[in-house]
Amino acid sequence: MKNSDAIGVVLKRHGNDGTRLMQILRETQEALGWLAPATLTVIAAGINWPRSRVESTAGFYSFFHTEPLGRYRVLWSDNITDRMLGNMDLMQAMCEKLWLEPGRVSADGLVSVDTTSCTGMCDQGPAILVNYRAITHMTMERINQMVELIHVQTPLAEWPAEWFKIEDNIRRADILLTNTMAPGEALRISFARGTATEVETSFSERSWHESMQASDIGASATLDEIKKSALRGRGGAGFTTGLKWEACHNAPGRTRYVVCNADEGEPGTFKDRVLLTRQPDLVLEGMTVAAFIIGASKGFVYLRGEYRYLLEPLNAVLAKRRKLGLLGENILGREGFNFDIEVHLGAGAYVCGEESALIESLEGKRGVPRNRPPYPVTNGFLNQPTVVNNVETFASAALIAAKGGDWYRSFGSARSTGTKILSVSGDCERPGIYEYPFGVTVRQVLEECGAHDTQAVQVSGPSGICLNRDEFDRRIAFGDVPTAGAFMIFGQQRDIFEVVRNFVHFFAHESCGFCTPCRVGTTLLKNLVDKIADGNGTRTDIDEIFHLNRLLQTTAHCGLGHTACNPLLYTLEKFRPAYERRLKLLKFVPAFDLDAALSQARQMTGRDDAGAHLEPQSEVAQ
């Protein structure tokens, strides 16, 4: 098939719709290997967009390549937990066997090896992606076999199936993960709700009820349950879900949208992956309940590109639900309730987890956070009212819709109701998924996952908070230690500075580049931390870190920039010796090795005399 034909097929599948550009680019790339300049031109013509805008989108995402990167593209997940499991040595060994350098394509154009941000397999690392398919538990043995398969160009489909097996590792299940509700049950209960006389309404609720058709009473009564449950968002910010849905319902608009945020990009988080594997119906049902409440007709699951392997299973569940009348027109026979869901795959960009960037991405654009206000609830997808919620939020909402707000409130604590799923990884005997009622102490989690001699726990990922031993009695709860789910454990043997360095590199790699402080600042921070790692740091550099932090916290455009310094701040406060033992006594040391800066001249002149070297600064008086 000619390239243009292959592109034509993809374009046709997506109705030449520019808002579907992400999917068009991904499918084209899957067919052709990469996105050549001519390919982008054809796509642009096909969707009737200026070519520059198509290139703009293609150039933003890590998983789209506008340069050929080999028929086999191997990406090593580079979260700190992968590092602790030895991924760097393994990657080096793989590169040696393939005769290439990390980041480069082999001379024959067959294969490239590089790193990528956390792929969400922290409990079963070291993990890699090969052509965006996840493989876990990497070992030398697997590398040997894999290199062989690559050399003889065995298609991925014929690689050993067990390599692609992803474990769920559910270690503690509570109301979400033990759910056995039949698909559709929460919807049926919601439809039926409020037809009885039990609806007690407060003044504010009444105003809404009055604006409703009689048939909407079930929706408003279900919203009351959501509000009563005091459910708060599980994606990080912790906004009250009922209020968000109500605001969206009340916002004027032609069409309404429900978006499930399954971008799960925060390193160390993998609970949404397990929810989508084990409880997909619950999540999709939560979305459908939301649609019922706000009056939406269309939903999206924004699934991170790293979870590409979940696309087909999720589509199968969607198809099943359509068959069962749980999606599509007149859902469960309810006249006029039309709603369908589609999976949108991301392409390697952490910032797309930020809800407005996510919406931009859904529209086929670069994942850049919007100026707010206005917020998505009033001006979201295609400028229409949109709710964006985390996977776990929707799953919880489905339970609440079925069992009621009071039931839900009986779990957790008064201000943090319900349960929270933690993604536990790092130095412990049983990494995996732990669902706890809110209020559990850090210590209890550590005990139950078999962590001994723990030095620190990073809760909620790099943008979250680093706890030291004195803080293990603190509780997982909105008022104490809030979390989006990551729980990374570092034993006494770990170097906290290396943890931080990994996180700082992560932010620099993931900054979208929209605003000056984050675009430049995260790179400057990375350079400073590398300088300290190289043994060239001084107190002046620590001061500069604090200075940059104040700038980012106050002037960055979105949460990524606001929190990019968190790893440095928390650890400078709690693990200062990890920095100090690397610092020079001097006030100033260059960031680079001056002797190495003469290397090219030495090489070209063949000189190696004393004059061809520069002693390090530390031996020179300041």
Partner 1 sequence: MNAPRKLKVATTSLAGCFGCHMSLLDIDERLLELLEFIEFDRSPLTDIKHCGPCDIGIIEGGVCNAENVHVLREFRANCKILIALGACAVNGGLPAQRNHLDLRDILAAVYVTEEGLVPGTQIPNDLELPLPLNHVHPIHEVVNIDYFLPGCPPSGDAIWKFLTDLLAGHTPRLGHGLIRYD
Partner 2 sequence: MSETNTFILDDQEIPFTPGQSVMQAALSAGVFIPHLCYHPEFRPHGSCKLCTVKINGRPATSCTTPAAHGMEVESNTPEILDKRRTLVQMLLVEGNHFCPSCEKSGFCKLQALGYELGVMTPRFNLLYPTRPVDASHPDVLLDFNRCILCELCIRASTEVDGKFVFALSGRGIKKHLVVNAESGRLADTNFSLADKAAQVCPVGVILPKRKGFAVPYGERHFDDAPISAHVDEFKPVMPGQEGRS
Ligand X SMILES: Cc1cc2nc3c(=O)[nH]c(=O)nc-3n(C[C@H](O)[C@H](O)[C@H](O)COP(=O)(O)O)c2cc1C
| Least distance in angstroms from the C-beta of 296 to partner 2 | 27
Contacts with ligand X, 310-349, as mask; x by CB under 6 A = ----------------------------------------
Quickly tell me which residue has 């006249």 as its tokens. 335
Task: Give the torsion through C-alpha atoms of 386, 14, 273, 496, to 10 deg.
Answer: -80
103 binds, among ligand SF4, partner 2, partner 1, none (CB under 5 to 8 A by kind): none
**What is the H or E stretch that residue 41 is in?**
helix 37-47
- The torsion of the CA quartet 259, 264, 265, 268, rounded to 10 degrees, works out to 160
User: For residue 582, what are the contacts with CB-CB under 8 A and spacing of at least 6?
Assistant: 497, 532, 533, 535, 537
Among 372, 588, 616, 618, binds partner 1 (CB under 8 A): 588
235 touches, from ligand X, partner 1, partner 2, none (C-beta below 5 to 8 Å by class): ligand X
**74 binding partner (options ligand SF4, partner 2, partner 1, none; Cβ < 5 to 8 Å by kind):** none
Cis peptide before 126 (omega within 30 of 0): yes
Q: Which range in 163-171, 201-209, 384-392, 474-482 contacts ligand X by CB under 6 A? A: 384-392
Q: How far is the CB of 57 from ligand SF4 (least distance, A)?
A: 16
User: Cis before residue 373, ω within 30 degrees of 0?
Assistant: yes
d(CA 271, CA 274): 5
Least Å from the CB of residue 127 to ligand X: 18
The one of partner 2, ligand SF4, ligand X, none whose footprint includes residue 582, by CB under 5 to 8 A per kind, is none
Binding partner of residue 58 among ligand X, partner 2, partner 1, none, CB cut-off 5 to 8 Å per kind: partner 2
- Taking the complex as a whole, the smallest distance from the CB of residue 69 to ligand X amounts, in Å, to 25
Kindly state whether residue 620 participates in binding partner 1, applying the rule CB under 8 A.
yes
Q: How many residues bind ligand SF4 (CB under 6 A)?
A: 14
User: Cα–Cα distance between 411 and 177 in angstroms, integer?
Assistant: 14
Residue type, 118: C
- Least spacing, CB of residue 158 vs ligand X, in Å: 33
- Out of partner 2, partner 1, ligand X, none, what residue 414 binds, judged by CB under 5 to 8 A for its kind, is none
Between 217-229 and 280-294, two packed helices, what is the crossing angle to 10 degrees?
Answer: 120
Helices marked H in 99-233 — which ranges? 140-151, 185-192, 203-210, 217-229
Which residue's CB comes closest to ligand SF4?
A: 561
Residue 76's closest CA among 131, 116, 105? Answer: 116
**Rounded to 5 degrees, what are φ and ψ at 16?**
50, 35
Binding of partner 1 at residue 597 (CB under 8 A)? yes
Q: Of residues 559-598, which lie at the interface with ligand SF4 (CB under 6 A)?
A: 560-561
Query: How many residues would you count in the chain?
Result: 622
Q: Which of 125, 353, 405, 461 binds ligand X (CB under 6 A)?
A: 353
Q: Is 305 in the site for ligand X (CB under 6 A)?
A: no
Judged by beta carbon, residue 224 or residue 264, the one nearer ligand X is 264
Q: Which of 25, 128, 488, 512 binds ligand SF4 (CB under 6 A)?
A: 512
State the burial class of residue 133 (Cβ atoms within 10 Å of its Cβ: 0-12, 13-18, 19+).
middle
Q: Which is nearer to ligand X, 351 or 446 (CB)?
A: 351
By CB under 8 A, tell whether 53 contacts partner 2: yes
CB of 251 to partner 1, least distance (A): 49
Nearer residue to ligand X within complex by CB, 46 or 346: 346
Q: For partner 1, which is the closer residue by CB, 162 or 595?
A: 595
261 binds ligand X (CB under 6 A): yes
Does residue 502 touch ligand X according to CB under 6 A? no
| Gyration radius (Cα) of the chain, Å | 26
Q: Which of 330, 396, 339, 334 is nearest to 192 (CA)?
A: 334
Q: Give the residue with the Cβ less far from partner 2, 55 or 174.
A: 55
DSSP states of 58-110: HHH-TT--SS---SEEEEEE--HHHHHTTHHHHHHHHHHHHT--TT-B-TTSS
Only one of the segments 125-133, 369-377, 443-451, 582-590 lies at the binding site for partner 1 (rule: CB under 8 A); that segment is 582-590
- Other C-beta atoms lying within 10 Å of the C-beta of residue 600: 9
Q: Is 376 in the site for ligand X (CB under 6 A)?
A: no
Does the footprint of partner 2 cover residue 515 (CB under 8 A)?
yes
Q: Is 412 exposed, middle or buried (0-12, 13-18, 19+ CB in 10 A)?
A: buried
- CB of 264 or CB of 285, closer to ligand SF4: 264
30 vs 64: CA distance, rounded Å: 10
CA distance 265 to 256: 26
Is residue 356 a contact residue for partner 2 (CB under 8 A)? no
Rounded (5°) CA angle 365-371-377: 85
Nearer to partner 2, 60 or 163 (CB): 60
Q: Please, which residue, 430 or 539, has the CB nearer to partner 1?
A: 539
> How near is the Cβ of 148 to partner 2 at its closest, in Å?
35
Distance separating alpha carbons of residues 14 and 17, to the nearest angstrom: 6
Q: Where are the alpha helices (DSSP H) in 383-441?
A: 391-403, 405-409
Nearer to ligand X, 400 or 532 (CB): 400
- How many Å apart are CA 238 and CA 142, to the nearest integer? 41
Residue numbers at the binding site for partner 2 (CB under 8 A): 37-38, 40-41, 50-53, 55-56, 58-62, 66, 349, 366, 371, 508-517, 519-524, 527, 547-548, 550-551, 554-557, 591
Residue numbers at the binding site for ligand SF4 (CB under 6 A): 351, 369, 511-515, 518-519, 556-558, 560-561
Residue numbers at the binding site for partner 1 (CB under 8 A): 540, 587-588, 590-592, 594, 596-607, 609, 611-612, 614, 617, 620-622
